[in-house]
Structure formats: structure tokens, C-alpha cells
């Protein structure tokens, strides 16, 4: 892997760290990293303007038509059309970025490495900043809401939880330990609600899967008890 590509991967993976300081820095860094990757892979990669699946394309274009109609009828059409432009750009960039990562495992692994480091750095900075501003480190803790990183915590919460999906290690428990006090000090209720609902959905999913497995087990158990089990076995293997 060339050094230029490594720099591009670094910009993409570390871009969200700049979100803590300035949204413009974040956007510029992310776009520079993405488009430099597209340029470096131009011989192997073709920029697509549609999805590969026909049904997805139909849904996408139907959504655009509805957006255009609503924008025309909007009180401020110019502002609505700007939102549509950002939406289209976001979708197209994500389609092609996903395609690039699927076809380039080396870049994917390096971006994930930088992303993991960036996420841990982000939650660490937020955690200690909130502790300092709350007076906890000086022994004069107050319950006053720390608002500086409250908005950023929405996306940081998702990233911290995603860490365990990239690699199962006890080390990723530390970012979680930093996350919950930060949410409490910042009075960020939306991420907590999202985590709570996510846990409920996971419990429901595993419960349904357990019922399915139990039904399959009972079916084969009853089948083995049946006097015609040899007949069923022969029929299923034909």
C-alpha cells in the first residue's frame, strides 16, 4: 500500500475526531480522504450513480421524486433543493465508498484501524473534558449540564458500541465505561434511549431465534419417535 493511500485511509478513519473541534474540518477531511481514495483506485474502480439492485433503484428514484415534489410545494424551495442535493451526494458517495471497501480489503482494514483509534480518542477526550468541567476532578462536582459535546455524543455513542463488532476484546469495555458517565454529565437522553431500545430489540430477536430453534428441535425429536421415521428420512434424502 502506498503512503498516499495510507494518508487517505487515515483522513477517512480519523475524520470524526475533527468533528469534536469543527464541523467544517470534519467535512473537508472526510471528503478529501474519500475522493483521494476514489482517484487512487480509478483504474480498478468505476463510480456508480445507481445501485446494483433494481428494487433499490426504484425505491431510490421514487424517494427523489417525492422529495422534488415536496420541495416545489415547500415554503422555501431553494433551501429544500439544497437538502435534496446533500441527500443525493450522501447516497452516491456512500454507495461507491461501500463498493470500494468491498473490493479493497487492505484499505478497509486500515480504515477500521484508524477508526477504532479515533473513536477511543474521541470518547476519552469527551469523558475527561466533562469530568473537568463538572468539577469532579477538583472535588466540587456539580450536576450542571455540560453541553459542549452533547450533540456529538449521539454519533460517538453509535461508534463506541460498534467497536465490539469489529473485534471482540476486553479492551473495548473501557470506552463503554467512559461513555455512560459522559452521557450522564452531558444530560444526553437520546443516546440512552437508543441504547435501551436497541437492547430490547436484541432481546426480542434472540427470544424469537430461541423459539425457532426449539421448534426445530421438537420437530426432529418427534420425527425420531415416529414409527415412520425411516420413511421420512428416505424421502428427505431423495
Q: What does the pLDDT profile of the chain (238 residues) look like in tens digits? A: 578 888 888 998 888 888 888 888 888 898 898 888 888 877 776 767 666 677 777 877 888 888 788 888 778 777 777 778 888 888 888 888 888 888 888 888 888 899 999 999 999 999 988 888 877 766 676 667 787 888 888 888 888 888 888 777 788 888 888 888 888 888 888 888 888 888 898 889 888 888 877 766 665 556 565 555 554 444 444 5
Query: 201 lies in a domain?
Result: yes
Query: 31 lies in a domain?
Result: no
Query: 108 lies in a domain?
Result: no
Query: 207 lies in a domain?
Result: yes
Q: Phi/psi at 163 (nearest 5 deg)? A: -55, -40
Query: 103 lies in a domain?
Result: no
- The residues near 229 (Cβ < 8 Å, ≥ 6 apart) are 223
Query: 149 lies in a domain?
Result: no
Query: 222 lies in a domain?
Result: yes
| Residue 214 belongs to domain spanning | 194-237
CA atoms within 13 A on the CB side of 60: 16
Query: 229 lies in a domain?
Result: yes
Count of the separate structural domains present in the chain: 1
Amino acid at each position: 500500500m502506498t503512503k498516499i493511500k495510507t494518508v487517505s485511509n487515515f483522513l477517512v478513519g480519523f475524520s470524526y475526531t475533527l468533528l469534536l473541534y469543527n464541523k467544517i474540518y470534519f467535512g473537508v477531511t472526510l471528503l478529501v480522504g474519500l475522493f483521494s481514495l476514489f482517484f487512487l483506485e480509478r483504474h480498478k474502480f468505476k463510480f456508480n450513480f445507481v445501485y446494483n439492485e433494481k428494487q433499490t433503484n426504484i425505491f431510490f428514484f421514487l424517494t427523489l421524486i417525492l422529495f422534488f415534489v415536496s420541495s416545489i410545494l415547500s415554503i422555501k424551495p431553494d433551501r429544500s433543493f439544497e437538502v435534496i442535493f446533500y441527500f443525493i451526494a450522501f447516497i452516491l458517495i456512500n454507495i461507491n465508498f461501500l463498493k470500494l471497501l468491498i473490493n479493497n480489503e487492505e484499505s478497509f482494514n486500515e480504515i477500521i484501524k484508524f477508526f477504532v483509534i479515533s473513536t477511543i480518542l474521541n470518547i476519552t477526550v469527551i469523558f475527561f473534558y466533562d469530568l473537568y468541567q463538572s468539577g469532579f476532578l477538583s472535588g466540587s462536582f456539580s450536576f450542571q449540564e455540560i453541553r459542549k459535546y452533547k450533540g456529538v455524543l449521539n454519533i460517538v455513542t453509535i461508534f463506541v458500541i460498534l467497536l465490539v463488532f469489529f473485534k471482540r476484546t476486553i479492551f473495548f469495555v473501557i470506552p463503554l465505561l467512559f461513555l455512560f458517565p459522559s452521557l450522564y454529565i452531558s444530560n444526553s437522553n437520546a443516546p440512552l434511549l437508543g441504547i435501551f431500545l436497541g437492547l430490547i430489540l436484541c432481546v426480542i430477536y434472540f427470544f424469537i431465534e430461541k423459539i425457532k430453534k426449539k421448534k426445530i428441535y421438537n420437530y426432529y425429536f418427534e420425527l425420531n419417535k415416529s414409527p415412520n421415521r425411516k420413511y421420512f428420512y428416505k424421502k428427505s434424502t431423495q
